[in-house]
A and B are shown apart, each in its own frame.
Chain A
Amino acid sequence: MTDVVTDMINAIVAAGHATGVGLDIFAMYIRPTPVSQIAVLPSGGLNPIVSTDSAHARPGVQIHIVDSDLASAWNKALGIWNTFSNASDVVGQAIWAARSGPLYMGRQEDGRHKVMVEFQIFA
Chain B
Amino acid sequence: MNMATNAKSGMKGSLWVSTTQVGDYKKVAELTDMQLRIDAQEIDVTHVDSGGWGDTITGKKQWELTPKNNLITTDADGYGVLMSAMLDEDTILYFKILSEGTPTTNPVGWHGAGRVLGSLIQLAGQSTGQRVDWTVKGSGPLSVIG
Contacts and interface: CB of A to CB of B under 8 A. Distances in A.
Interface of A: 1-2, 4, 7, 48-49, 51, 54-57, 86, 88, 91-94, 96, 121-123
24 contacts: A1-B4, A2-B2, A48-B4, A49-B7, A51-B5, A54-B5, A54-B6, A54-B7, A55-B4, A56-B3, A56-B4, A56-B7, A91-B1, A92-B3, A93-B8, A93-B9, A93-B11, A94-B12, A96-B11, A121-B1, A122-B9, A122-B10, A122-B11, A123-B3
Given A88-B12, A93-B12, A94-B12, A1 B7 contact: no
Interface string B38-64: 000000000000000000000000000
Contacts, number: 49
A1 B12 CA distance: 19
Contacts of A92: 1, 3, 9
Instruction: Determine chain A's interface SS by DSSP, over half rule.
Output: strand
Interface residues of B, number: 12
A88 B102 CA distance: 13
Nearest to B11: A94
A56 B3 CA distance: 7
B4 A123 contact: yes
A54 B7 CA distance: 9
Contacts of A1: 1-4
A32 to B, nearest CB: 30
Given A54-B7, A56-B7, A123 B1 contact: yes
Interface string B4-29: 11111111100000000000000000
Contacts of A4: 1
A47 to B, nearest CB: 13
Contacts of A48: 4
